[in-house]
Amino acid sequence: MNIDPPICSTSAPAARPAPTAKGLRKILFVTPEMGDYVQAGGLGEVSAALPRALREGCDARVLIPGYRQVLAQHPGMECVANLPAAGDIPACAIGRATRPDGLVVYVVICPELYDRPGSPYVDERGQAFDDNDVRFARLSLAAADIACGFGEPGWTPDNLHLNDWPTALAAGYVAWRGARTPTLMTIHNLAYQGVFEQERLRSLAIPESAFCIDGVEFYGKLSFLKAGLFYASHLTTVSATYAEEITRPEFGCGLHGLLAQRSAEGRLTGILNGIDESWEAERAAEAANADRAESWKNRHADHIREDFGLALSRGPLFAIISRLVHQKGVDLAIQTAETIIANGGQLIVTGQGEAEFEDGVRALAERHRGAVGVRIGFDARQARRMFAGSDFLLMPSRFEPCGLSQMYAQKFGSLPIAHRTGGLADTIEDGRTGFLFTAPTATGLNGAIRRAFDVFTSTRRIGAMRSAAMSRSFGWDHSAKRYAEAYAQAG
């Protein structure tokens, strides 16, 4: 197979055995997004952090599509393998790149599928690519090829770690070949399943025999995610509560029966995500003293109020840092904003998503100029400033597999107000580091907001809660150890 020189350098060294520390389990972490290059959500952040945390006890490497953002950072990368076509899945090359900290990243080089503008999943207009089935089948098939020993010479993974529907088909490809490489599949959000028409089976090199209830069939269609859930050796999801919730009809998205079966077999584990605690560096000194924390919070609050065009105030500042979609309960937050404003509070919002919610928060800001500020879009540095300056973070998600914002908020002394579900229930201590409410309704959220106002009026109580929140640890070390145990359990 010929590879264009700008993508894989013809002068790069020939493929050579990849060194591995003796005795370390070799993990190929397969992901459609990674914060080092491009991300659309929390999976990108996890994919940047977890493989690095795993390197303490494993030889963990990443496999990612060769998006233009990836190729731009690694011009002339070394090609270590060529993989054949199958069905309508084109042939590809595997490039090898090394991050500055030594993390090895394998890149699926297939320009016709990946070298295009947009995010990993959608084009510049926000429309899903019409060949996403082929794009992510190519990623999954590459993972299976590498698991079967066709990747970099001298390095074959002991485990595949798959993440969400874009990688889930790899578990099927491994099983259909009769390969023995154990696969661990992590469910980051069960609501996104990668469902396509049955007619795509042959194009995606899926055997017709797999189109059945004990396979890839899902209500008459082909489900990538179902393939992962059925064929993977072990399943994990990103919090203990979510692992239990998805075995029930109200959270299981039509897959609760299979998930309940896997849970009963001991093959479903909840492992909480971590966060990048290097974010704390700029506020570490303040965490030790409640009085200093209050002064620090006020200083940042003044800056963020000015940035969002709000009036100066010493009332509580609430924040929404979220995708603006139904799952996140944005409609509930819009309804309860009147309570916040009527009681002397202010609200800042950043995020993007569904048009009705973007329009809803814009209209709210128009009605309450000086009290509500909105920025459509997302910027990580601005998000940090919002965590630092806000007193409370609104997270009324209807369901939340894990969530990261509530963890970052606590590290910055912004107390989360959240629905008691999934990872929110597992990471927020009600009345100590935040506020939880039971029913995902405007009434439930309103009650929690009123509790927050009560606490805010007491310097002692708000100071104690901030200190408790800021002292919590949400690093990746413990989670990485649990994943290492899960790899061993998978085989």
Q: Distances in Å between the alpha carbon of 237 and those of 43, 186, 301, 455?
A: 12, 5, 35, 34
Q: Distances in Å between the alpha carbon of 283 and those of 286, 356, 389, 409?
A: 5, 36, 12, 12
DSSP 308: T
Amino acid identity of residue 10, one-letter, is T
Contact of 1 with 91, CB cutoff 8 Å: yes
Domain shared by 259 and 295, yes or no: no
Cα(229)–Cα(122) distance, integer angstroms: 24
Q: Look at residues 470, 414, 432 and name the one whose alpha carbon lies nearest to residue 288.
A: 470
Contact of 247 with 267, CB cutoff 8 Å: no
20 inside domain? no
Domain shared by 265 and 298, yes or no: no
pLDDT given at position 467: 93
Domain shared by 285 and 251, yes or no: no
286 inside domain? yes
Domain shared by 187 and 294, yes or no: no
Six-digit token string for 184: 């661990």
pLDDT given at position 19: 54
Contact of 120 with 38, CB cutoff 8 Å: yes
328 inside domain? yes
Domain shared by 251 and 335, yes or no: no
Per-10-residue mean pLDDT, the chain, length 491: 39 46 88 94 93 95 98 95 97 98 97 95 91 98 98 97 98 96 97 96 98 97 98 97 97 97 97 81 49 77 94 95 95 96 97 94 97 92 92 97 95 96 98 97 97 97 95 92 93 79
User: What DSSP assignment string belongs to 2-19?
Assistant: ---TTTB-TTSPPP-PPP
Q: E-strand spans in 315-371?
A: 317-321, 346-351
Six-digit token string for 297: 């919070």
14 inside domain? no
Cα(342)–Cα(243) distance, integer angstroms: 39
Contact of 94 with 138, CB cutoff 8 Å: no
Residue whose token pair is 């503008």: 117
pLDDT given at position 490: 87
Amino acid identity of residue 373, one-letter, is G
Alpha helices per DSSP H over 373-414 = 380-389, 405-411
Domain shared by 427 and 383, yes or no: yes
224 inside domain? yes
Which residues, listed in sequence order, are joined to residue 350 by a DSSP beta bridge?
Answer: 321, 375
320 inside domain? yes
Write the CB contacts of 55 (distance below 8 Å, at least 6 apart in sequence).
Answer: 102, 103
Domain shared by 128 and 240, yes or no: yes
Domain shared by 396 and 462, yes or no: yes
Three-state SS for 195?
strand
DSSP 430: B
pLDDT given at position 283: 54
Contact of 471 with 287, CB cutoff 8 Å: yes
Strands 221-223 and 195-196: antiparallel
Three-state SS for 36?
coil
pTM of the model: 0.90
Domain shared by 268 and 298, yes or no: no
Q: 47 — phi, psi (to 5°)? A: -70, -25
Give the 3-state DSSP-derived string for 245-284, with helices as H, strands as E and coil as C: HCCCCCCCCCCHHHHHHHHHCCCEEECCCCCCHHHHHHHH
319 inside domain? yes
Write the CB contacts of 460 (distance below 8 Å, at least 6 apart in sequence).
Answer: none
Domain shared by 326 and 417, yes or no: yes
pLDDT given at position 23: 80
Three-state SS for 10?
coil
What total number of domains does the chain contain? 2
Which residues, listed in sequence order, are joined to residue 234 by a DSSP beta bridge?
Answer: 184
Write the CB contacts of 52 (distance below 8 Å, at least 6 apart in sequence).
Answer: 60, 101, 103, 476
pLDDT given at position 2: 33
Amino acid identity of residue 196, one-letter, is F
**What length is written for the chain?**
491
13 inside domain? no
Give the Cα-Cα-Cα angle 431, 387, 378 (nearest 5 degrees): 130
Q: For the CA atoms of 290, 294, 295, 300, what is the dihedral angle to 10 degrees?
A: 130
Enclosing domain of residue 395: 278-470
Helix (H) or strand (E) holding 287: helix 284-287
> What is the CATH classification number for the domain harbouring 286?
3.40.50.2000
Domain shared by 78 and 219, yes or no: yes
Domain shared by 228 and 322, yes or no: no
Strands 268-270 and 317-321: unpaired
